[in-house]
Amino acid sequence: MQDRTAALVVQAVRTGFRAIDVAAQRKHYRQDLVGEALATLAREDGIKREEIFLQTKFTSMNGQDATGFIPYDPKASVEKQVR
């Protein structure tokens, strides 16, 4: 499912969705591919980033997949992790 993130976001936006909720939880999807989808939509459909409501959140270590990608240094301060 993770590798289908871009295709699923493109499909959702093309069918009318304008809000995307992400949280950097690679165990569910790939946040970087949401960005790829937005680039595809801009290039192929003329949908500007400003037309999409994009929400992201900080996910603490207990919500991350410890066996996979972690989008921050877990040893850093929480302030640095969020940034």
pLDDT digits over 19-47, tens only? 999 876 776 678 889 999 999 999 999 99
Instruction: Give the rounded percent of residues in the chain with a pLDDT score beyond 90.
Output: 52
59: left (phi over 0), alpha (psi -120 to 50) or beta: beta
pLDDT at 1: 59
Dihedral, CA atoms, 7, 12, 14, 15, nearest 10 degrees? Answer: 140
Q: How confident is the model at residue 62 (pLDDT cuts 50, 70, 90)?
A: confident
pLDDT at 49: 93
pTM over 0.85: no
